[in-house]
Structure formats: C-alpha cells, structure tokens
Structure 1
Amino acid sequence: MKLKYDPLNIVVCGIGGQGNVLAAEILGSAMCDRGCKVAVGETYGASQRGGSVMSHVRVSEKWDPSVLIPAGEAHIIIGFEPLETLRIARKYAGADTVTVYDPRPVYPLGVLQGVQTYPPLEELEAEIRALSSAALAVPAADIAMEAGDSKAANIALLGAFSELPAAPLSGGDLEKILAQRFQGAVLELNRRAFAMGREAAKKGGAVG
C-alpha cells in the first residue's frame, strides 16, 4: 500500500490516560514493519490530571522525517475526545485532512465543579466536520466497554482508522502489532475491540 503523501502526517490526540500514546506507538510499529521510515513524538499537558496529550506520527518511504508536523499539514487526525480533536484540528487540519474521533466528552475538573462550561457537542462536531475533508465519529469508549474493558477504546479507534480510505495500513497490518504487544485474554479483548471499531466505521461512513 503506497503512501498517498510523503511524508504522511498523522496526529493522535486526547486526554491523559486514554491510551493515545500507545495508539501512536502501534501505528509507528506497523509502518516500520512495512519498511517505512517513521518519527513519533509526543507533547504532554498535565496528563496525570486529565490534560492534553498529542502524538505526531510522520511516515516516509524515502527519507527520515522530522518529528513535528507543521501547522495545517496533518493528513489524518485520530481524536480520543471531541474538544481535544477540535483544538488540534484548528491548528493542524488542512484541505485534505481526514478526521476519525470519539464523540464522547471527557469533562475537565472545572466543568464538573461548575466553574467552567463545556461547549455544546453539536457545535464541536459541526466545526470538526467543517475543518476536515471528511470526518467520522466512532463511539470508541462505548465499543470498548461492550468488548469488555474501557481501556480498549484506543484499540477500537485504531480499528476504525484502518477502514478509512486515507489509512496507510490495513487491519491485518495493525492486528499483527497487537499480537506482538499483547497476549492471552488481553490480546483477545483487544482483538474484539479492534474488530468492533472496524465494523462501526464500515456502518458509520464518513461525513464530509
């Protein structure tokens, strides 16, 4: 599967504790297995307190890419939380950006305490769609719970990502890495979450 863009720029974003760093590492490993040159870098907010976490994954078939993606040049955004997805899209989305994200909010402490306001979800989603050439909302957290463990939401979202026309990896490419990273009951749970994420993407379709 040839890269549509070289380098291909993928941003993985979410809240500390959602497993987005692991998701980025799995993507990078799968691309390395394909013989590509990969750079993966993270930036952290107050991740232990539910702060922002973002990973840049840059992939090339020709040369070693630099770590950081320039503003406006993300080709794919994988978002684990809608407000974080929008924040990243505002900076990194360009004309050809495809976004796949979990629309389930994770409310900051200030919102839970009533001192801050979380934006209306429909407004967040509308702007994500407006900033993307195509956007796909996948309930990864709900899928993970159905598969058996809420921690598998990152794997469910990777499953959905693998069904994007813009994805540089097949489901089989990513499942190979899952088998290297996990074993036993944990592997089977992640395989279920991955398969369910793929199925959700097939049923949901992309919204332009």
Structure 2
Amino acid sequence: MNLTKDPLNLIIAGVGGQGNVMASQLVGRALVRENYYVTIGDTYGASQRGGAVMSHLRISRDSQFSPLIPEGQADIIVALEPVEALRVIARYGNPSTSAVINSRPIYPTAVTVGDAEYPSLDKIRATINELARKSWFVDATEIALSLGSPIFTNIIMVGALAGTGLLPLGRRSFEDVIQESFPGAHLEVNLKAFAQGMDLVKA
C-alpha cells in the first residue's frame, strides 16, 4: 500500500480525557512498523481534562517533517467530538480533506450552565459535508458503552479510520500494535472495539 500524497497529514482531535493522544500513538506505531516516517505533535487547550486536544501526524515514506500541520493542509481529520471536528476542519481542512467524526457531543461547562449554545448535530454535519471531500459520522461512544465503558471510544475511532482505507495500512498492522499495547485481560475487548469501529465505515 502506498501513500496517496507525501507527506500525508492527519489530525486526531478531541477533548481532554477522550484518549485521542493514545489513538495517535497507536496509529503512529502501526505506520512506523510498516517503515513510514511519522512525526507527531500534540497541542492542548486550556485545561488538561475537558480542553481541546489535537494530535498532528505527518506521514512520509522518505523523510521527516516538522510536527505541526500548516493551516489548510490536513488530508484526514479524525474527531472524537463533533464541535472539535468543526473547529479543526474550519482551520486545517481543505476541499480534499476526509473526516471521520464521532457524533456524540461532550457539552462544555458554558453550555451546561446556559451561557452558550451547542450547535445541532444536523448543522455540524451539514457544515462539515460542505467543507470536506468525504465524511463519516459514527456513534463510537454508543458502541463503547455497549462494550462496558466510554474509554473504548478512541479505539473504535481508530478502527473506523482503518476501515476507511485512507491510510496505507492493513487490518493486521493495527491489530499487532493493539496486542502490544493492551496485553492480558484488556486485549480482547480492545480488539473487539477496533473491529466494531472498522465495521462502522466498511462499504
């Protein structure tokens, strides 16, 4: 499998506590195992838990690139929260960007106390569909809860990314890294989360 462009620019975004940094590490390690160069840069919002978190991955067959993706140059966006998807694609997206979005909102404090409004999912979906070449909206959180905990959302989203075929990686590359990362009692449920994520977007 080959890169569709070099470098291929991927952003994995969410809010603190969702595990998108772990997701970026899994994806990065899977790529490195297949002899790609991967540079990862993480950016954090005002608070560690609940603030915006973005991981920039720059993927190349031949060389390393600076860790942060320039504005307007993301090829793939994976968002664990819909408003974060909107923010990231507005800043980093372009007409050729593809996006994979978890459709379950996490409401910030300003929304829950009535000081701000959260846009409707229909509005978010329509805006992203206008801005992106292709988008997939999946309820990864619902599946994670069916597996016992919302903490599996990030692994489900990695599975969804794998299922799109946007990365030059086969299923086994991801599963090998998951096996290394979650040995023992946690392995089976994480492999199941990954598989169910793949099933969400398979044609």
Residue 158 of structure 2 aligns with which residue?
A: 158
Q: 2: distance between equivalents of 1:168 and 1:147?
A: 28
State the secondary structure of the residue aligned to 1:70: coil
1:179, distance to aligned residue in structure 2 (A): 0.5
Per-residue deviation, residues 115-137 of structure 1 (Å, max 9, x unmatched): 11111111011111111100001
Residue 35 of structure 1 aligns with which residue?
A: 35
Residue 73 of structure 2 aligns with which residue?
A: 73
Residue 107 of structure 2 aligns with which residue?
A: 107
Q: 1: distance between equivalents of 2:149 and 2:184?
A: 15
Is 1:58 the counterpart of 2:58 in the alignment?
yes
Give the conservation status (yes or no) of the 8 Å contact 1:148–1:189. no
Per-residue deviation, residues 18-76 of structure 1 (Å, max 9, x unmatched): 00000001111111101111100100003434010000000110111111111111110
* Matched pairs, number: 203
Residue 196 of structure 1 aligns with which residue?
A: 196
1:150, distance to aligned residue in structure 2 (A): 1.2
Q: 2: distance between equivalents of 1:159 and 1:110?
A: 32
Q: 2: distance between equivalents of 1:47 and 1:20?
A: 15
Give the conservation status (yes or no) of the 8 Å contact 1:75–1:98. yes
Q: Given the superposition, is the C-alpha separation of residues 93 and 191 from structure 1 closer, same or farther in structure 2, using an over 3 Å criterion? A: same
Q: TM-score, normalised by structure 2?
A: 0.97
1:77, distance to aligned residue in structure 2 (A): 0.2
Per-residue deviation, residues 68-102 of structure 1 (Å, max 9, x unmatched): 11111111000000000010000111121110010
Residue 136 of structure 1 aligns with which residue?
A: 136
1:185, distance to aligned residue in structure 2 (A): 2.1
1:148, distance to aligned residue in structure 2 (A): 2.3
For the aligned residue pairs, the C-alpha RMSD in angstroms reads 1.1
Residue 119 of structure 1 aligns with which residue?
A: 119
Residue 4 of structure 2 aligns with which residue?
A: 4
State the secondary structure of the residue aligned to 2:75: strand
Q: 2: distance between equivalents of 1:189 and 1:165?
A: 23
Q: Given the superposition, is the C-alpha separation of residues 145 and 22 from structure 1 closer, same or farther in structure 2, using an over 3 Å criterion? A: same
State the secondary structure of the residue aligned to 1:6: coil
Give the conservation status (yes or no) of the 8 Å contact 1:17–1:47. no
1:182, distance to aligned residue in structure 2 (A): 0.6
| Structure 1 residues not aligned, in runs of 5+ | none
Match of 1:83, as an amino acid? V
Runs of 4+ in 1 over 3 A off after TM superposition: none
